[in-house]
Amino acid sequence: MSMKKMHESASQRQGELTHFDQAGQAHMVDVGAKNETHRIAVASGTIRMKPETLAIIQSGTAKKGDVLGIARIAAIMAAKRTSDLIPLCHPLALTRVAVDFSIDASASSVTCTAQVETYGKTGVEMEALTAVQVGLLTVYDMCKAVDRGMVMMDVRVMEKHGGKSGDWVA
């Protein structure tokens, strides 16, 4: 296939999957012709647990240490390594990764929210989603000795800004 045809087949068409060429082969999307813009993505997800587990997290008495502090660092590290984990993701120079955890005592849950930013040619939704999922996995890892029944749920992109498609809010 010629380079021109490869570029044409890699261009995004509304409603089509972009990581496959016309022959159905997986490829990394060509973003070379795209404009660099400020890109922002926000994702969130929740982990539900026993009230006793949540109490341990809140009191800071988990055997492995500060659960949410360590989960925050893990989430930030994960955002930075997304292209190493997801085969067709572009490696990006992130300009900001902010991770927050909120506790809902009535639902016995912790919600992780990640905001990821870059100035580039492709979005950061995958980095935000990866940060959230690894943050929740870290909470699970640190608390599994007392609660193996924790459930991670509702991991999703909440909003994205920048790029040709503009803004999107869930």
Residue 99 shares a structural domain with residue 25: no
Residues 37-86 pLDDT 10s:
999 999 999 999 999 999 999 998 777 779 999 999 999 999 999 999 99
Residue 72 shares a structural domain with residue 1: no
- Return all residues near 104 (Cβ < 8 A) that are at least 6 apart: 110, 111
Residue 18 shares a structural domain with residue 101: no
Contact 40, 97 (CB under 8 A): no
* Plot region of 93 (φ>0 → left; ψ -120 to 50 → alpha; else → beta): beta
Which residue out of 141, 147, 154, 167 is catalytically annotated? Answer: 141
**Phi and psi torsions of 105, nearest 5°:** -65, -35
Q: In what order do the strands lie in the sheet with 109-120?
A: 94-104, 109-120, 37-48, 151-161, 168-169
Strands of 26-145, DSSP E: 37-48, 94-104, 109-120
Cα–Cα distance between 58 and 47 in angstroms, integer? 14
Residue 77 shares a structural domain with residue 155: yes
CA-based nearest residue to 52, from 155, 137, 154, 145: 145
pTM of the full structure: 0.83
**45 beta partners:** 112
Residue 123 shares a structural domain with residue 74: yes
Residue 116 shares a structural domain with residue 98: yes
Residue 18 shares a structural domain with residue 58: no
Residue 65 shares a structural domain with residue 119: yes
122 compared with 117, residue with greater pLDDT: 117
Residue 165 shares a structural domain with residue 145: yes
Residue 129 shares a structural domain with residue 145: yes
Domain count, the chain: 2
Residue 90 shares a structural domain with residue 11: no
Domain hosting 119: range is 34-169
Query: Which of 29-43, 55-69, 118-132 is the least confident region?
Result: 29-43
pLDDT band at 30 (very low <50, low <70, confident <90, very high): low
CATH number of the domain at 127, please: 3.30.70.640
Residue 21 shares a structural domain with residue 62: no
Query: Can you read off the two tokens belonging to residue 82?
Result: 């997304």
Q: Is 100 a catalytic residue?
A: no
